[in-house]
Amino acid sequence: MGNLDKRTLTKVVTLPSLGVFYEGKLPGGEIKIASFTTREEKIFSGAGGGHESKLTQVFQNCVEFPDKFNPKDLVLPDRLFLLIQIRGLSYGNAYSFQHKCEQCSVQARHDKNLLEDFPYTEASEKYQEPYEITLPHSEKKLGLRLLRGFDEAALAKHVATVQKKVGVQSGDPAYTLRLAKHIETVDGEQPESRFAIQTMVDNLEGPDSLALRDAIDDMNFGYDLQIDVECPSCGFFHDEVTLPFGAEFFRPRRKRDRDVQGSA
């Protein structure tokens, strides 16, 4: 018996990865999802636990995976896709959120359709891991991979540890580690340690750092949640704002957030 057999609000979706990163465990990327229940709303209602662990728990409840498949093994674009699809199935695709203008400090509400207002691409079946790049300055050859849910959890743990030890710092405390986690091999060899990779990444000069970030971005697919927001008060234009996942994403209360707009 599947874990969704007792749920009536379900549908089958195709992951943007097309399943190519899972060694045949998710053929074609087709997978069955179900609506949130009050049980899942409860998971996101408390302050305890990290977002990544809550998301994994929701996937365990609302997605029918093959036996012994761990949702932490999903690549991040697939995890984001499932979150948006389950939310849309549960409450509709209309989503309104608050954004504070950095120019005039007015906080205004903005409306988006989760399925229609964001670019979406699928991976090619030619995608494979590791994929290789050659850095233009040092000429090092790097073998790269996509990040998974377990990487997301490790990054969150790292940030919490750093903040506990030294307090809040300027910049992203996980910036170097996030880049380093993409690297599997250097010049065809497994590095001695994760610390060695981080040290190498920290010391990359500009052309190589740019090339690494571009190579990571080039393997992106699924939903692109970077948006442009114009302040209705002063007209200031904010570009490349990441769509925020506020409380209303998981537990909408306003009628306009519950209306189904463009549901799949």
Q: 3-state secondary structure string, 166-234?
A: HCCCCCCCCHHHHHHHCEEEECCECCCCHHHHHHHHHCCCHHHHHHHHHHHHHCCCEECCEEEEECCCC
pLDDT at 1: 40
Model confidence band, residue 70 (pLDDT cutoffs 50, 70, 90): very high
User: Per the domain annotation, does 146 fall within a domain?
Assistant: yes
Give pTM, 2 decimals: 0.87
Which domain range does residue 68 map to?
10-121+222-258
pLDDT at 169: 66
Give me the CATH number covering residue 209: 3.30.2220
Handedness of CA 134, 183, 216, 69 (dihedral sign): positive
Q: How confident is the model over 40-60, as a mean pLDDT?
A: 83
* Statement to judge: residues 165 and 239 lie in one domain: no
SS3 content of the chain, % helix, strand, coil (to 5): 35, 20, 40
* Per-residue pLDDT tens over the stretch 5-30: 788 899 999 999 999 999 999 999 99
Angle at which helices 38-45 and 51-62 cross, to 10°:
170
pLDDT at 168: 66
Name all contacts of 152-157 with Cβ < 8 Å and 24+ positions apart: 152/52, 152/76, 152/79, 153/50, 153/52, 153/53, 153/56, 153/72, 154/181, 155/181, 156/50, 156/51, 156/52, 157/50
Q: How confident is the model over 126-144, as a mean pLDDT?
A: 93
Q: 10 Å Cβ neighbour count for 173? A: 17
Would you call 225 exposed, middle or buried from its count of C-beta atoms within 10 A (0-12, 13-18, 19+)?
middle
User: Per the domain annotation, does 77 fall within a domain?
Assistant: yes
Q: What is the mean pLDDT of the chain?
A: 87
* Statement to judge: residues 38 and 97 lie in one domain: yes
CA 103 from chain centre, in angstroms, equals 28
Would you call 79 exposed, middle or buried from its count of C-beta atoms within 10 A (0-12, 13-18, 19+)?
buried
* Statement to judge: residues 107 and 155 lie in one domain: no
Residues in the chain: 264
DSSP 129: S
User: Per the domain annotation, does 5 fall within a domain?
Assistant: no
* Statement to judge: residues 42 and 158 lie in one domain: no
Strands 183-186 and 141-144: antiparallel
User: Per the domain annotation, does 1 fall within a domain?
Assistant: no
* Statement to judge: residues 31 and 140 lie in one domain: no
Half-sphere exposure of 82 (CA within 13 A, CB side): 30
